[in-house]
């Protein structure tokens, strides 16, 4: 939606009627991903794209119909023998497109306001199961709108907040009252937030496992090491980026924010100390360093010797990870990932069987 935001805001501010078509599902090969948007004004003006040209004409006609009826419509477009070049996708994929009118009081207004301020927000829309098109807008600290049932609102808000924290867009399924493991209601959650970054320092086997887990959790993963023989794409195929550079030099030129995760797996003072000196003095959700307790004590001594304060050092998670008895690189990566998640949401880290109350608290993400 960001690519058409200026035009949508102009229509919105001038009370121009318009319809928004959103890709809410794809199967097979498709030219645009879920979340792609095309909008049509009552005057016939078009902005955006849902397929790169294959089905825009058909979507335009549906948008005109939706503007006339005032009711949302879910359409499916796929290749057919008779109309492959008319309303189908020549790539052979299938698109699900939700076309809905934008009325006065629509949640799209506050969502666009947040986008204009670079404020993360998720928009959850019912795409299958009554009532089609109902929406909830979710921020880190609040939510607006309703999907028609309180239980459904609670479940979707919880999921949308988690997806927003990870910058993930996709469809979740529920029962009519928010029941899990039921697929009567499909809700498309569009997160307007870039994926958070995971910076993994140290090109060792633990880093490979950490990269795989990071990608699985929705992070944009970078592996960095100063040794060219180890920092190779072949050794870390799952990572989005592999950088051969001194870790602290790379961090100096790399922006971080309150969602960034930094995992220092080198356990070598010549790498660790200058890197942690930088990391502990900049925004990050989590900063963890691998090593034995002896290595940890030596690391703390070195950090204090270069002038790091107790408050700065307190941000460091070391030895890294939760105590789950991890041994292998894969188990250790799960341990670290568990601590990252626990820090984000403020969980106790205890077995759920030993706790009481709501499992998912209604709270904003907690950053370490």
Per residue in 328-360, pLDDT (tens digit) is 999 999 999 999 999 988 888 889 888 887 675
Check whether 84 has a pLDDT greater than 60: no
- Tell me the whole-structure pTM to 2 decimals: 0.69
Rounded CA-CA distance 101/70 in Å is: 6
Q: What is the pLDDT of residue 167?
A: 82
Rounded CA-CA distance 5/13 in Å is: 12
Domain range summary for the chain, segments of one domain joined by +: 1-104, 107-193, 197-345
Check whether 362 has a pLDDT greater than 60: no
Calculate the average pLDDT of the chain.
89
Rounded CA-CA distance 213/350 in Å is: 21
Kindly report the backbone phi and psi dihedral angles of residue 223, in degrees, each rounded to the nearest multiple of 5, phi listed first.
Answer: -105, 130
Q: What is the pLDDT of residue 29?
A: 65
Asked if the 197-345 domain carries CATH number 3.40.50.300, the reply is: no
Q: What is the pLDDT of residue 17?
A: 93
CB pairs under 8 A, 24+ apart, for 280-283? Answer: 280/308, 280/312, 280/313, 280/315, 280/316, 281/312, 282/256, 283/256, 283/257, 283/258
């Amino acid at each position: 939606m960001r690519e058409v935001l200026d035009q949508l805001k102009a229509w919105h501010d001038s009370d121009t009627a318009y319809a928004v078509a959103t890709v809410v599902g794809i199967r097979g090969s498709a030219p645009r991903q879920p979340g792609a948007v095309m909008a049509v004004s009552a005057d016939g003006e078009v902005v955006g794209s849902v397929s790169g040209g294959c089905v825009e004409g058909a979507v335009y006609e549906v948008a005109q119909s939706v503007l006339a009826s005032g009711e949302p419509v879910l359409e499916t477009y796929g290749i057919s023998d008779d109309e492959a070049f008319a309303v189908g996708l020549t790539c052979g994929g299938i698109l699900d497109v939700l076309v809905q009118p934008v009325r006065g009081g629509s949640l799209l207004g506050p969502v666009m306001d947040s986008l204009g301020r670079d404020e993360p927000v998720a928009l959850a829309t019912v795409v299958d199961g009554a009532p089609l098109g109902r929406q909830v807008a979710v921020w880190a600290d609040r939510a607006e709108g309703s999907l028609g049932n309180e239980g459904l609102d609670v479940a979707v808000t919880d999921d949308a907040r988690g997806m927003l924290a990870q910058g993930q867009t996709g469809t979740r399924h529920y029962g009519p009252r928010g029941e899990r493991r039921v697929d009567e209601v499909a809700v498309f959650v569009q997160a307007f937030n870039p994926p958070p970054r995971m910076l993994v320092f140290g090109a060792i086997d633990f880093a490979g496992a950490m990269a795989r887990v990071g990608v699985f959790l929705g992070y944009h993963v970078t592996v960095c090491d100063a040794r060219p023989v180890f920092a190779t794409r072949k050794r870390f195929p799952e990572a989005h980026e592999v950088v051969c550079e001194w870790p602290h030099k790379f961090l100096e030129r790399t922006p971080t924010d309150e969602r960034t995760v930094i995992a220092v797996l080198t356990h070598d003072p010549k790498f660790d100390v200058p890197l942690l000196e930088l990391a502990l003095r900049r925004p990050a959700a989590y900063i963890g360093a691998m090593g034995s307790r002896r290595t940890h004590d030596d690391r703390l001594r070195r950090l204090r010797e270069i002038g790091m304060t107790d408050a700065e050092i307190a941000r460091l998670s070391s030895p890294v990870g939760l105590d789950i008895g991890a041994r292998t690189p894969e188990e250790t990566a799960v341990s670290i990932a568990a601590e990252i998640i626990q820090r984000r949401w403020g969980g106790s880290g205890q077995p759920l069987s030993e706790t009481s109350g709501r499992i998912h608290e209604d709270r904003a993400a907690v950053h370490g």
